[in-house]
Amino acid sequence: MRGTRAATTAVIGTVLTGLLLTGCTVFGGDDSVPKPTRQAGEDATGQTPQPDGTLDTEHVTSKQVVPAGTVVAEADAVSKSGDTSMHVRVVADDDGTFEAQFSGYRTTEPQPMTVEFRRTAKYGDYWDNAAVGQATWGGDAPVPTSVTLRTAGAYPDWLRYVVLVPAPSASGNDSDRPWVGSVLAVGALPWKIPAPFPDVHVTVGKDRPGAYGYVFGKDGKVLSDGGTPSTYQVAHGDEQSTVAERFGITMAELRWLNPTMKVRDNGWIYEDTILNLDPATR
């Protein structure tokens, strides 16, 4: 029996030694960081993935870009029929951000309603999880007079539209309102905010670990040799500072170009996000 135990102990010792020498473990451990990968594609027609509806990115920060009280955008959100409308203006506050002020709301069909700001919008659009500056009121309730746009950052001009969207009723029974959640009224916002980076110029550098994704032109085709970049598809392991470096811009400029960009705690951008590289389409 003693000889059997000794032999068994020797075998276990040999196996453990082999595992240690090869860097393996029988107890598990931290996975190694995966090598950067990218998915081949011939166009960039996909939308930017949004893991959730909150804007938790670090927006471009600066001192007050315009004096407090300055009106930087003004529009009327109007329904197709003209029966529902609201006047909206965006005003600089004292904290370097902005506030939306509402007035003149009228409708021929009182109902629960939400006003919110979106990057893109058209009549009939459904819910937008990336919308900001929401305010909701009941059919017979007072209409809010203002809402903060703080989460849109110091340069909220990427929010090109203000919309009115019929909201669910308190009872939850909206069978007689099939249009709930669809955009009823739209207003385009003409912004007057000075650009923080008027001379930003994007160049295409060689791919590298931490910036290994594909670059696309305005036609949606992959740029292989030169050309004007329009968008970038984030690869696994792409890190924001390295991506900025690849395109010859600062991280602040990258964030300004992509105000809703999602970044993990380790600096990695969410894989397959389509980043904007054109200031004109911010």
Last residue of a domain, one of 161, 188, 215: 188
List pLDDT tens digits, range 210-235.
999 999 999 999 997 778 899 999 99
97: exposed, middle or buried (C-beta count within 10 Å: 0-12, 13-18, 19+)? buried
Q: How far is residue 115's CA from residue 185's CA, in Å, rounded to a whole number? A: 9
Q: What is the DSSP letter of 22?
A: T
- Is 181 found in the same domain as 76? yes
Does one domain contain both 212 and 270?
Answer: yes
Same-domain status, 214 and 183: no
In a domain, 2, yes or no: no
Domain check: are 90 and 184 in the same one? yes
> Burial level of 35, CB count in 10 A (0-12/13-18/19+)?
exposed
114 and 220 together in one domain: no
In a domain, 59, yes or no: no
**Does any domain span residue 61?**
no
Residue 167 lies in a domain: yes
Residue 122 neighbours by CB under 8 Å, 6+ apart: 183, 186
CB atoms within 10 A of CB 20: 10
Tell me, yes or no, whether 7 lies in a domain. Answer: no
Residues 183 and 224 placed together within one structural domain of the fold = no
Reduce the DSSP state of residue 252 to 3 states and report it. Answer: helix
**Mean pLDDT in residue range 49-71:** 61
44 in the same domain as 113: no
Looking only at the bridges linking them, the beta strands covering 185-188 and 161-166 are: antiparallel
**Which residues, including other chains, have CB under 8 Å from residue 282's CB and lie 6 or more apart?**
157, 158, 256, 257, 258, 259, 276
pTM for this prediction: 0.75
* Number of domains observed in the structure of the chain: 2
What's the rounded mean pLDDT across residues 178-203? Answer: 96
Q: 123-168: per-residue pLDDT in tens?
A: 999 999 999 999 999 999 999 999 999 999 999 999 999 999 999 9
* Structural domain contains residue 221: yes
* Residue 110 domain-assigned (yes or no): yes
Query: Beta-carbon neighbour count of residue 250 at 10 Å?
Result: 13
What is the rounded radius of gyration, in angstroms, for the C-alpha atoms of the chain? Answer: 26
The residue range of the domain holding 134 is: 71-188
Q: Which of 181, 168, 83 is nearest to 124 (CA)?
A: 181
CA–CA dist 146, 99 (Å, integer): 7
